[in-house]
Amino acid sequence: MFSIVEQDGFQFKVSQGDTIRVPRIDAEKGSEISLQKVLMVGDGTSVKIGTPVVSGATVTAKVIDHIKGDKVLIMKKKRRKTYKKKTGHRQLHTTLQIMSITA
């Protein structure tokens, strides 16, 4: 069984036992959360597509860890003006393990 869920504007295709990295969620490490925005549920033979979400469907996930993503460098430069600016950014992520999918 697989499902497509939406979390903070991103869509993820998940099945039971998968590990995904989503934008930071305010939940304690080791706690279980449920993802309510289930856009599609399929089991190999039939598919339920929501308008916009599948009613009554939830995905239960366990919070594994809170991590920072890779550093993204931002560089600005204007030629012949001796103007250079370099900054960096690291996005905060939460690692989730999918426990169950109910349709």
Segment 23-75, tens digit of pLDDT: 999 999 999 999 999 999 998 899 999 999 999 999 999 999 999 999 999 99
Output DSSP code: residue 57: -
The rounded distance, in Å, linking the Cα atoms of 36 and 46 is 21
Domain that holds residue 45: 2-102
3-state SS, residue 37: coil
pLDDT score of 97: 97
pLDDT at residue number 103? 83
Question: How does pLDDT run across 7-21, given as a tens digit for each residue?
Answer: 999 999 999 999 999
Domain count of the fold of the chain? 1
- Which residue carries 């959360």 as its tokens? 33
Largest CA distance in the chain: 63
CB atoms within 10 A of CB 94: 22
Amino acid at 101: I
